[in-house]
A and B are shown apart, each in its own frame.
Chain A
Amino acid sequence: MKPITVVKVLCFAAALIPAAALVYGFYTNDLTANPGDYITDQTGTWTIAFLTISLTVTPLRRLTGWNEFIKLRRMLGLFAFFYATLHMLTWVVFVHFFEVSFMVEDVAKRPFITVGMATFLILLTLAVTSNRFAIRRLGRRWQVLHRLVYVAAVGAVIHFWWLVKADITEPRRWAVAIAALLGFRLWWMYRGRLSLRS
């Protein structure tokens, strides 16, 4: 097996661990006294985690020069979408139990939900255009469209920041990580321009 294939298989297996842990917790009755909230928090956290991890692919590639890293990007992005979908479903089922009027009100009235839903819709769009067919069809526009992942990452952090009650430690941590990863891209662009000029 090629090294990148090994890495890919390992990443795939590792990315399923958080979901497996929730399934295990369900069967062992170990999801706290408020399992609905616990699953919502966990799936939300792992969505931001996978968004962050997928944003490290390009910097790693640039810094190591190992271009094969790019082969992980789609899979990691799709895992972000996978956890985002579970997270959104916890909102539908555990928070509102399919009560449409409550959900509409939530999206319209509560900014952190509005931002969360917009972020989910971006990830949905990116996921359905992540296949080979869409890449070919969209051509150059594909790259522009998929830069929306930067907006999604920022949206996810804002969503988290606005929902916490008093302790901003966690959202701040993700904000710093994502700012650093987006900052790297700016720096790289700027550096590229400088070297072009010289």
Chain B
Amino acid sequence: MLIKQAPDIRSSEITPKSVYLRRREFIQASAAALVAAGFPSLAGEAAAQGGGLAKLPNVRKSPLSTTETPSLYEHVTSYNNFYEFAPGAGDGPKNNSKNFKPRPWKVKIDGHVAKPGDYDIDDFIKPHTLEERVYRFRCVEAWSFVIPWVGIPMADVLKRVEPTSKAKYVEMTTAHDVGRFPMQKTDLLQWPYIEGLRLDEAMNPLTLLAVGLYGEVLPAQNGAPIRLITPWKYGFKGVKSIVRIRFVENQPRNTWQTMAPQEYGFYANVNPEVDHPRWSQARERRLPSFIPNRRTEMFNGYTEQVAHMYKGMDLRKNY
């Protein structure tokens, strides 16, 4: 298979002189540098980072990784949106998931598929080679990280379970288990959390079922033991703690679309031109920056790998 690697700096991204001479952007950049200076440990290598969880063995590097510097492990694992543990972004999910046990865990494969089944999580992962994918992660709330995920390409899983011709979408569901997820006692969201992809999106080489980050197993707050990662979409598409992968004919109704259809759609592709009703998506904070220090890129910079799937679609309507 031909794997195209996106260059990290396209010629279109290099700042033209007319722009860099503008005073404001210079000030902005200096301020960003000033902010970064407060965090000297920022330049930490992904390999040197971790949280002391179990190391994942035999992880292959991937040409699909960005060469951007990964964010700090500490930040990636203490600033999360995981409503099953706590409302809102912050360290709530970390603090409220200390007793979470990611085993035993079953994953159900069903719907329009040739090989349905109930798998133990470890049997589910075993036939596949683990890959490290360093991806940009853009939250719909206009902040971003760079995260070295470890996982299995979703396409490999699909090839193994063989969706039938009737399958047009994949629906993925988080465990509904009040014992594990305290907030499921409340009606904060409609439980269980549901997300979905079109079949071709699920087959895209970028789409990953992540089981780890920074070379270790996923911490609870990041979606242990297995979660979805689609780096060209906003973070909320990345359904966590998956127990069911169902192949369906009709477009699944994902949780945030149900909660606020005027704010969140099915596609949720990163798009700097389509604002959230309550804030602009044109820029983002690459955390831990205090200020917006990056212009958000179309499809989060993965245009070359994904734009062809949305040719002819009105992305303003299909947000």
Contact = CB atoms under 8 A, between A and B. Distances in A.
Q: Do A and B bind each other?
A: yes
A34 B87 contact: no
Contact of B88 (A95, A97, A106, A165): A165
Contacts of A166: 83, 87, 188-189, 259-260
A161 B39 CA distance: 34
Given A29-B38, A29-B39, A110-B278, A36 B289 contact: yes
Interface string B249-262: 00000000001100
B75 A36 contact: no
A163 B280 contact: no
B287 interface: yes
Contact of A94 (B38, B90, B291): B291
Contact of A33 (B31, B260, B279, B288): B288
B292 interface: yes
Contacts of B78: 32-33
Given A29-B39, A163-B278, A97 B31 contact: yes
Contacts of A36: 285, 289-291
B89 interface: yes
Nearest to B86: A167
A105 B280 contact: yes
Contacts of B141: 37
A98 interface: yes
A101 to B, nearest CB: 10
B259 A33 contact: no
A168 B36 CA distance: 34
Interface residues of B, number: 37
Contacts of B75: 33
A7 to B, nearest CB: 35
B90 A32 contact: yes
A188 B87 CA distance: 38
Interface in B19-47: 24, 27-28, 31, 38-39
B79 interface: yes
A35 to B, nearest CB: 5
A112 interface: yes
A121 B309 CA distance: 48
Interface in B277-319: 277-280, 282, 285, 287-292
Nearest to A26: B38
A102 B87 CA distance: 28
Nearest to B263: A165
A60 B232 CA distance: 56
B91 interface: yes
17 contacts: A33-B72, A33-B79, A34-B89, A34-B287, A35-B290, A36-B290, A37-B141, A39-B290, A95-B279, A97-B28, A98-B24, A98-B27, A105-B280, A110-B277, A166-B87, A167-B88, A169-B87
Given A34-B288, A106-B280, 17 more contacts: A33-B71, A33-B75, A33-B287, A33-B288, A36-B291, A37-B89, A37-B141, A39-B290, A93-B291, A96-B292, A97-B28, A98-B24, A102-B280, A105-B280, A110-B279, A162-B278, A165-B260
